[in-house]
Amino acid sequence: MASPFTFSFWLFFVVFLFAIFTAFYIPGSVLLKKLKLLPFPNCVLSLIVGMSLWGWQGFIFGFLHIRWLTYGYLLAFLLIWVRSLDRNSVYNVWTADFQKHIKVDGILVFLVILGSILQILSTFFNGILSSSGLSYCCGLPDSLYHIALTNQLVYQFPPTEPGMSGVIVHNYHYMSNLVSADLIRIYHLPLLATLYQYFVVFLSIFIGLTAIVFGKMLKLKTAYIRWLVFFLYFSGDMTYLLTFLIGKGFRFTTPFLENALWLWFSPPRVYAIVVFFTGVSLLLLWIKQKKLYTGILMAFVFSSLVSFKIYTGVFMASGIVGLMVYFILKRDYRMLLPLILTGFLSLVLYLPVNAGSGGLVLAGFWQFENFIAQPGLGLIHLEMAREIYASHHNWFGVARFEFLFIVIYLIFVFGTVILGILQSKKSLSQFPKELNIFLMSGFLVCSFFGFMFIQQSGGANSVQFLISVDVLGSIYAALACYYWIGKCKGVFNYIAIAVVVFLTIPRVIDIAHVDIAKLLQPPTFVIDNNQIQALEYIKTQTPQNAIILVDNLENKPGYWYNPSIHSITFIPLNTGGIWEGNNSYYVSFLANRSMFIDGDIFTNSIVQSHGVNTDYRISVEKTIFNDKNPRTIKKLLHTNDISYIYLGSNTKLAKTPPPFLKTVVQNSEATVFKVQ
């Protein structure tokens, strides 16, 4: 494990840069060479096109059980790239471009650097090794799961659930994990640093860079690109303003949908954002050039979104369908092939992994009603009034309240991004018609699914559709500000800019303050050296296929109000020294073994959220740790092929084990039993 305070961390960072150059940039630049792009967009798009193709090769070679062919993939593109390299022409193009085309905009540079730093603060200090152990600051438990899943992909494909041995991962998009895993596998990069330091820096910067390229492809003025980058890095809700208007003061503890600094709480979303902007940049080129080759490249990039982040993939797929209808109505059938190819490739990625996922249940206006009913807002009386109207079948009264709830939700939850709906025919004409059709189709479908449905697996996770709308809504929010504020002259222009900026940034300022406050305090989640020692034993001294039973079911998670950061803080509980439930995923990646089960409904089992029935294994674990009959325990251990038990040293079983459990490691925190 490499820490930012060690020389090896920075040495591996150099290796990481070499890795993304050879694995991402070279294949991407080879394929984009025919498009004859200027150096800046060529460099940015090459890296992300290459990243998308890196995921594709990992997926195809993995399912064909020929992962060794990745070396051939790298070698083939390297040879093509070297043979096509003309040093003189490359030098001339770059110097000419910098002299004639590249104009560094100070405001854009400032926005990208500041936005990236603020995003990095929220997750960069995960998995930091110190004298006291391995500490995590943020993003629990998802960060632990992504590390464990990526670790599984380093060693096997398709991956098994790190929290449920022997069960293949289904109903989850893991292309982002596969991209990281194959880099780690081929270039021998450190797991934790690659996921939560190297890639965090790389992709946080590329959110801005891909947006800049997209803006330049539109050939709009720099003002549009500034607004777009601003919203992507600094957007947030305005519920703080809602609480002020209803007399509760500016409060930031009320529920909200998403903000720019929380993007890394779901790493696949960040990958999807940069891939999406790369895809729409290729879409613009394809619309302009009408070349089949460009359309095929676009198809491979767009379709990968289905496996990077399915909700962004649904947005993309809706846009593709909208374009197909448009070109059919125009009888421009030659444009259909890349769109059909996008659909086919999307199914290739979707069906093997996610065929049984999804399942939407109509929930009506639950999303809006649930928001209004939140205790922190003090608006529950409005929902109660709506229910009274509903009980008396006064549907006009119900409709009035539903309309009010929708307006409140859209304005205060989406914040200034909702400005994107303020368009005119002339403002929309700034975009190509095909781009408007693509984007509006995505917004309509994802808004409908997000507002009106919940998922059969994941429940309220359908809000992810709305998060996609919120993030990608920056495209039209930027257009609205660019067009309408651009019409303001003199001092009114600066006033309008100031109003939008000052309404947008309070949430980001609050989140940044919370993140910094967390970093200045001792971390709440630490895997101490005693546990690391015990898990190292399992990793090095047990068979690779050993199944580990972890004592992780006993307590429910707790919460407390932290006055120093004005926030509700999650307290991960432990059972005699071992972190419980889905916070126990560190056992999987530090021991490099699969767990028997990751938790139950009370500890938010991630495996269960993937639609897997975990009842039997939960019952087995409860019996093993609670039953007083040694014969029953022994039978269950052998029946379920459990090889080792990992538990806290302060638990009853650790202190008085039956004779068939051999103690192989025991310290003040952790105990490891070998089942005999």
Residues 502 and 619 in one domain: no
Query: pLDDT digits over 270-296, tens only?
Result: 999 999 999 999 999 999 999 999 999
Task: Please indicate whether residue 566 or residue 327 has the higher confidence score (pLDDT).
Answer: 327
Q: Is 497 exposed, middle or buried (0-12, 13-18, 19+ CB in 10 A)?
A: middle
Question: Do 185 and 294 belong to one domain?
Answer: yes
Can you tell me the distance from the alpha carbon of 451 to that of 367, in angstroms, rounded to the nearest whole number?
6
Looking at the predicted structure, is the pLDDT value of residue 491 above 60? yes
How far from 395 is each of 227, 364, 366, 390, 401, CA to CA, in Å? 42, 14, 16, 6, 10
pLDDT above 80: residue 400: yes
Q: Give the per-residue pLDDT at 285.
A: 96
Q: What is the mean pLDDT of residues 492-519?
A: 92
3-state secondary structure of 662: strand
Same domain? 602 vs 634:
yes
Give the end of a domain, one of 508, 536, 570.
508
Long-range residue pairs from 377-381, CB within 8 A, at least 24 positions apart, any chain: 377/239, 377/242, 377/243, 377/246, 377/254, 378/243, 378/246, 378/248, 379/246, 379/408
Query: What is the 8-class DSSP label of residue 417?
Result: G
Contacts for 624 with CB less than 8 Å, ≥ 6 apart: 549, 633, 636, 637, 645
Query: Which of these, 569, 524, 559, 557, lies nearest to 135 by C-alpha position?
Result: 524
pLDDT at 634 over 70: yes
Asked if residues 621 and 165 have their Cβ atoms less than 8 Å apart, the reply is: no
Indicate whether 568 belongs to any domain.
yes
Does residue 564 fall inside a structural domain? yes
Do 566 and 596 fall into the same domain?
A: yes
Q: Tell me, yes or no, whether 154 lies in a domain.
A: no
- Mean per-residue pLDDT of the chain: 88
**Rounded Cα–Cα distance for residues 618 and 607 (Å):** 12
**Residue 219 and residue 308 in one domain:** yes
Residue 175 confidence class, pLDDT cut points 50, 70, 90: very high
At residue 433, the pLDDT reads 96
Range of weakest confidence among 118-132, 411-425, 543-557, 585-599: 543-557
Number of domains the chain is built from:
2
275-289, 347-361, 516-530, 562-576: least confident range:
562-576
Q: Is residue 329 part of a domain?
A: yes
The pLDDT value recorded for residue 253 is: 81
Placement of tokens 């994990």 in the chain: 177
504/529 same-domain check: no
Residue type, 107: I
Pick the range with the lowest mean pLDDT from 63-77, 236-250, 576-590: 576-590
Q: What's the token pair of residue 281?
A: 């940049």
Range of weakest confidence among 47-51, 442-446, 619-623: 619-623
**pLDDT at residue 459 tops 90:** no
Q: How confident is the model at residue 539 (pLDDT cuts 50, 70, 90)?
A: very high
**How large is the average pLDDT for residues 596-609?**
78
In a domain, 213, yes or no: yes
Tell which wins on pLDDT, 530 or 179: 179
Domain region containing 654: 525-675
- Name the percent of the chain lying above pLDDT 90: 66
Does any domain span residue 367?
no
pTM (global) more than 0.85: yes
Which of 266-280, 441-455, 617-631 shows the lowest per-residue confidence on average (mean pLDDT)?
617-631
pLDDT of residue 358: 62
Task: Identify the band that residue 51 occupies on the pLDDT scale cut at 50, 70 and 90.
Answer: very high
DSSP state of 595: B
What does the pLDDT average to over 311-334? 96
Mean pLDDT of 559-565: 44
Kindly state whether residues 192 and 220 are assigned to the same domain.
yes
The residue-averaged pLDDT of 608-632 equals: 87
Query: Residue 120 pLDDT > 60, yes or no?
Result: yes
Task: Tell me, yes or no, whether 26 and 107 share the same domain.
Answer: yes
pLDDT band, residue 37 (cuts 50/70/90): very high
Count CB neighbours of 559 within 10 A.
9
Note whether residue 430 is domain-resident: no
pLDDT at res. 570: 41
Of the ranges 90-94, 128-132, 454-458, which is most confident?
A: 128-132
Label residue 343 left, alpha or beta by phi (over 0 means left) and psi (-120 to 50 means alpha). alpha
Residue 313 has pLDDT above 50, yes or no: yes
Task: Indicate if 614 and 499 belong to the same structural domain.
Answer: no
Asked if residue 284 is part of any domain, the answer here is: yes
| Whether 581 and 670 share a structural domain | yes
Residue 578's pLDDT is 54
* pLDDT score of 668: 85
pLDDT band at 575 (very low <50, low <70, confident <90, very high): very low
Where among 443, 473, 508 does a domain terminate? 508
Looking at per-residue confidence, does 266 or 420 come out higher?
A: 420
Q: Indicate whether 648 and 535 sit together in one domain.
A: yes
Q: Are residues 352 and 268 in the same domain?
A: yes
Domain boundary among 508, 535, 557: 508
In this prediction, what percent of the chain has a pLDDT beyond 70? 91
Predicted local distance difference test score (pLDDT) of residue 460: 67
Per-residue 3-state assignment (H helix, E strand, C coil) for 352-414: HHHCCCCCEEECCCHHHHHHHCCHHHCCHHHHHHHHHHHHCCCHHHHHHHHHHHHHHHHHHHH
